[in-house]
Structure 1
Amino acid sequence: MVPSNLNKTSSVSHKDFRLLGFPEVTKFRPLLALPFSFIYTVILSANSVVMLVIALEESLHTPMYTLIFSLLAGNVVYTTAITPKMLLSLFGLNEISLAGCLAQIFTILTSIMAESITLLLMAVDRYLAISRPLHYQEIILKQLLVHSAINGLLRNCLVVLPVVILSSSVRYCRSNIINHFYCENMMLLGLGCQELRGEVIGLLVRTAITVCDIVIIFLSYLKILQTVLRIALGAARYKALHTCSTNLVVVVITYASGILISSFYMPGISTSYTTQNTVSAIHFLFPAIVNPFIYGIRMEEIKDNLQKWWRKKKNISWCTEAYNNGQAHK
């Protein structure tokens, strides 16, 4: 970590903080608002369109597409928790209260945990669909989804809530400057009087969210691959591998930068704040912007319904235009 004035302590426990996203490019920070605004608009539009297609098309009301809907909804939630405040901070409106910080941390960590569970469920969903097709609907609907909801709640209680509770009880006497574009939990805890405890807790949280989940997910897909190669043939094998490869692409995109971010906080690692901010922006925004396009292009059912929706929209526009022209000639 680059040295800063954070080592200076005071007797005051700060309740308000300042977000200094990309602190090493101070003069050019307002210019960053334009590309980030465009990216956020694309994220909202693309995810909403695919979610709308899944919601309106009854043939897509299956467990797999329900999970895709949940994944895209999570993209919208955590990017909305981050991006609007980031855009304001780029223009100098960077003050945030401790309560606001804690709310942002809770929303982001909860969304990340939910995303991990959703990706894991996608792997289990494909495994059950391939290995136990006759009992797939009963297992996935009556057992797996209910248990996953309970496990997700327990994970949040065991991992996210302790971080928020700990963060609310820490005395922040070192500084009120967060060199990030959002309330990153490890940086916030690092401002506390007991620096070591904050760093250890932050690193443990990152490890629990990234490494553990990623191991479970890839082990699940390894089991799927073994099952597909053993029992599926021809077109069935191709369809199964195509669907699983789509999910694996999303998994890699989601976790690759997350692992890199975690490495920044390992002892002895020194990186600039701009590097950390840039990788964090890629980690949060890139999956959210590519996921709807990946599923829209690679999942045949979604792609077909998107094309059908687009053709219907064009036909309605053409008919409306023809009607208006006819009325004008009259």
Structure 2
Amino acid sequence: MENQSSVTHFLLVGFTFSVELQFFLFVVFFAIYLLTVTANVAIIGLVRLDNRLHTPMYYLLSQLSFLEIWYTSSIAPNLLTNLAGWKYISFSGCLSQMYFYFSLGSTEFFLLGVMAIDRYLAICNPLRYQAIMNGQVCVQATAACWSVAFLSVFFLILLISRLTFCQPAIINHFFCDLPPLLKLSCQDTFVEEIIVFFFACSIILTSLLFTIVSYVYILSTIFKIPSTKGRQKAFSTCVSHFTVVTILYGTVIFIYVRPSVSYPMDVNKFMGVFNTVVTPLLNPLIYCLRNKEVKEALRKVMNTKRSQIDGITYITK
């Protein structure tokens, strides 16, 4: 029984604003959440409907969109209920939320690394690209991203679940995050902090290293292309992915890749909102605005729907 927590529920402080401001934030975040789900579902639908998008690059993009839906869904509903006034979460619910949040986040890092390698092969080794990045390899690579992430995070959450937490069980955040949760433990958490730190470093920095190395080779190859048009075309296939990588890694490294949990939590709340609510919406918008083929596919679908509506209207008249 000594490993069992004496706490059954946690109080999530969330944002301590006025009632009017919290209501305004509820409306804003609810709208962002709906837009995020809609935009990512639209990306998945476009990839499935348009034959021109049946390539490894867009298969990986659809996987990223699918992941973003669940990633933001693991946090956004809890944020909304917190703003609405319900600030409690059960101990098991807290562990479950952390498990899915970190599992999906780790999967995203692995997936972005695979997408960087895909761009490297497409630009630096185009003659063998189709043979290397075939459908089977894409499925195996994404399956490995999901399985490794979920399995590794399971052991991390198992370690955290064995800690003893004491009253008052107040988490200074809007969701169950590891740094504020470790502060509530009655035990010395030095070992757990070190494990969490090295876990974050191994996941984030390893995938970042693959991404950086891939882009070093990509840029060196692009600069060797003689024509300006060819360089622009090659670079355009990478700029969306590079933008997403920069935003995501910059935010997460600021929050987690640090040797101590004793840093201002209010700053992390705002960074957490950006990472879990805003970034999942930015990703599909960035790919739609910066990617010519996605914009053409979207335009094609919109024209088809418009023609169908015009045909129905004509028949009705």
Relative to the length of structure 2, the TM-score reads 0.89
Pair 1:121–1:44, CA change in 2 (3 A): same
Matching of residue 14 in structure 1 with residue 42 in structure 2: no
Counterpart of 2:223?
229
Counterpart of 2:57?
64
Counterpart of 2:171?
178
SS in 2 for 1:25: coil
For residue 123 of structure 1, report the CA deviation from its aligned partner.
1.1
Q: Is the 2:116–2:210 contact (alpha carbons within 8 Å) kept by the matching residues of 1?
A: no
For residue 267 of structure 1, report the CA deviation from its aligned partner.
4.1
Work out which of the residue numbers 301, 310, 314 in structure 2 matches 1:318.
310
Pair 1:58–1:232, CA change in 2 (3 A): farther
Deviates more, 1:254-263 or 1:38-47: 254-263
Counterpart of 1:217?
211
User: Over residues 30-85 of structure 1, what are the superposed CA-to-partner deviations in whole Å (9 max), with x where a residue is unaligned?
Assistant: 43211110110110111111211111222211110001101111111110111112
For residue 269 of structure 1, report the CA deviation from its aligned partner.
5.9
Counterpart of 2:144?
150
Q: Is the 1:18–1:95 contact (alpha carbons within 8 Å) kept by the matching residues of 2?
A: yes
User: Over residues 77-122 of structure 1, what are the superposed CA-to-partner deviations in whole Å (9 max), with x where a residue is unaligned?
Assistant: 1101111121111122222222211211111111111111111111
Distance in 2 (alpha carbons) for counterparts of 1:29 and 1:196 = 36
Work out which of the residue numbers 293, 298, 304 in structure 1 matches 2:290.
298
Paired residues, number: 311
Structure 2 residues without counterparts, runs of 5 or longer: none
Deviates more, 1:130-139 or 1:70-79: 130-139
Counterpart of 2:114?
121
The one-letter code sitting in structure 2 at the alignment partner of 1:15 is T
Deviates more, 1:72-81 or 1:286-295: 286-295
SS in 2 for 1:170: coil
State the percentage of identical aligned residues.
Answer: 30
Counterpart of 1:283?
275
Pair 1:68–1:29, CA change in 2 (3 A): same
SS in 1 for 2:159: helix
User: Over residues 152-179 of structure 1, what are the superposed CA-to-partner deviations in whole Å (9 max), with x where a residue is unaligned?
Assistant: 5335433x12211012211112532112
Q: Is the 2:193–2:261 contact (alpha carbons within 8 Å) kept by the matching residues of 1?
A: no
Matching of residue 112 in structure 1 with residue 105 in structure 2: yes
Pair 1:166–1:225, CA change in 2 (3 A): same
Counterpart of 2:85?
92
Distance in 2 (alpha carbons) for counterparts of 1:147 and 1:125 = 11
Q: Is the 2:7–2:169 contact (alpha carbons within 8 Å) kept by the matching residues of 1?
A: yes
Q: Is the 2:29–2:277 contact (alpha carbons within 8 Å) kept by the matching residues of 1?
A: no
User: Over residues 165-208 of structure 1, what are the superposed CA-to-partner deviations in whole Å (9 max), with x where a residue is unaligned?
Assistant: 01221111253211211111222232212243443333333333
Counterpart of 2:33?
40
Distance in 2 (alpha carbons) for counterparts of 1:131 and 1:176 = 53
SS in 1 for 2:75: helix
Pair 1:72–1:319, CA change in 2 (3 A): same
Pair 1:49–1:190, CA change in 2 (3 A): same
Q: Is the 2:25–2:83 contact (alpha carbons within 8 Å) kept by the matching residues of 1?
A: yes
The one-letter code sitting in structure 1 at the alignment partner of 2:55 is T
Deviates more, 1:182-191 or 1:200-209: 200-209
Matching of residue 73 in structure 1 with residue 66 in structure 2: yes
Distance in 1 (alpha carbons) for counterparts of 2:204 and 2:62 = 22
Counterpart of 1:241?
235
Pair 1:103–1:12, CA change in 2 (3 A): closer
Q: Is the 1:19–1:96 contact (alpha carbons within 8 Å) kept by the matching residues of 2?
A: yes
Distance in 2 (alpha carbons) for counterparts of 1:12 and 1:60 = 50
Pair 1:153–1:51, CA change in 2 (3 A): same
Distance in 1 (alpha carbons) for counterparts of 2:86 and 2:65 = 29
CA RMSD of aligned residues (A): 2.4
